[in-house]
Amino acid sequence: MAKAQDIERARRFARSIASELGIYHGKLFDEGIRQDALFELARVELEAGCALYTSRIIPRVDPEQHLYWQAIVDVVIYPRMRIPSAIW
């Protein structure tokens, strides 16, 4: 697969990874939000997603993975705002 060479492709790829993480690990994310420990409980999954993302984009497009982490917030965390948590 060719590496993403522009911001829009990188953004779409980041959102697709975030979407899959949300689907396959939804219960883990729900529990992480409930306990205010999302990044501790889902660390392995989030880091694996980030590694996949960085392996498929040209580094100059998003050198600090901002698009990936923004996608995690938009696609995984924000839709779970209905879950009671100290985070909110």
**Total domains in the fold of the chain:** 1
Does the pLDDT of residue 44 top 90, yes or no?
yes
Confidence at residue 49, expressed as pLDDT on a 0 to 100 scale: 98
Does the pLDDT of residue 1 top 80, yes or no?
no
Assigned domain for 87 exists = no
Average pLDDT, rounded, for the chain: 96
Assigned domain for 2 exists = no
Q: What is the DSSP string of the chain?
A: -PPB-SHHHHHHHHHHHHHHHHHHTHHHHHHHHHTT-HHHHTHHHHHHHHHHHHHTB-TTTSTT-HHHHHHIIIIIIGGGTTS--TT-
Domain hosting residue 54, numbered range: 7-80
Give residue 2's pLDDT band: very low, low, confident or very high (50, 70, 90): confident
